[in-house]
């Protein structure tokens, strides 16, 4: 399938409901097709990996084509300067997280982006730094403790996080680190209480959001990470 045919297929799967959802995130109507993520994933499976085609799809400007492009990029053949260019063109939280979780976090040396982007003035590069922290805390079972400690220190020290899409990612990262095990649950709660007592208004919001979830965690057989008591109770009903 070439780029033109793929766009036509996406358009054939379009729904006004999904298009409205995309436009709510600030994507202009002319760049919104309106296709579910599930259908995009199905198309990606049929296409396979191709960086050339992925860049073509990304460059059409369509939001759904960019989501599809992320899924067909071959991470073995993409370089960090490509990632910088892609992220600089992200204008929505869902594409930011999709790019982080499905491509960047699977690349060797992805940690470089965390330390570089955490001081960025670009909203979604800054969000990406925290999204990558959260993603690595969830999926990277070999993530060293000293790296997690660095992440907690960065969360404690970070400023300029007032934007809604950034502060939510900070809280997400703090919560996912705190679900690693009981040791990191305690460490994350200590950071949260420090932010609550000594931080600004935004940091206090992050702290309260994290504390609400991290104060009630349990270890369940068969799971490597902690879960909330509410989740456990729901699974037992």
pLDDT tens, the chain, 237 aa long: 899 999 999 999 999 999 999 999 999 999 999 999 999 999 999 999 999 999 999 999 999 999 999 999 999 999 999 999 999 999 999 999 999 999 999 999 999 999 999 999 999 999 999 999 999 999 998 999 999 999 999 999 988 899 999 999 999 999 999 999 999 999 999 999 999 999 999 999 999 999 999 999 999 988 999 998 866 544 443
Query: How much is the pTM?
Result: 0.94
Name the 3-class secondary structure at 228: strand
Whether residue 151 contacts residue 133, with contact meaning beta carbons closer than 8 Å, is answered with yes
Question: Residue 77's CB: how many other CB atoms inside 10 A?
Answer: 11
Which ranges in the chain are annotated with CATH 1.25.40? Answer: 101-237
Instruction: Specify burial of residue 175 (Cβ count, 10 A radius: 0-12, 13-18, 19+).
Output: buried
Both tokens assigned to 159 = 């400023």
Both tokens assigned to 89 = 């063109």
Alpha-carbon span 20 to 23, nearest angstrom? 5
Alpha-carbon span 162 to 7, nearest angstrom? 36
CATH number corresponding to 101-237: 1.25.40
């Amino acid at each position: 399938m070439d780029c033109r045919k793929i766009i036509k297929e996406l358009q054939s799967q379009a729904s006004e409901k999904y298009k409205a959802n995309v436009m709510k995130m600030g994507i202009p109507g002319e760049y919104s097709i309106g296709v579910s993520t599930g259908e995009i994933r199905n198309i990606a499976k049929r296409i396979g990996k191709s960086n050339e085609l992925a860049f073509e799809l990304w460059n059409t400007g369509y939001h759904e084509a960019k989501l599809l492009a992320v899924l067909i990029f071959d991470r073995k053949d993409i370089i960090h300067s490509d990632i910088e260019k892609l992220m600089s063109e992200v204008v929505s939280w869902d594409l930011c997280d999709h790019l982080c979780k499905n491509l960047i976090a699977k690349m060797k040396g992805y940690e470089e982006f965390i330390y570089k982007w955490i001081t960025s003035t670009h909203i979604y590069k800054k969000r990406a730094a925290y999204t990558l922290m959260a993603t690595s805390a969830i999926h990277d079972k070999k993530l060293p403790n000293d790296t997690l400690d660095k992440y907690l220190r960065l969360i404690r020290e970070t400023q300029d996080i007032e934007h809604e899409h950034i502060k939510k990612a900070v809280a997400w990262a703090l919560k996912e680190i705190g679900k690693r095990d009981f040791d990191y649950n305690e460490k994350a709660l200590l950071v949260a209480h420090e932010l609550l007592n000594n931080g600004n208004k935004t940091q206090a919001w992050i702290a309260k959001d994290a504390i609400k979830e991290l104060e009630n965690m349990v270890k369940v057989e068969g799971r490597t990470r902690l879960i909330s008591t509410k989740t456990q109770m729901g699974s037992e009903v």
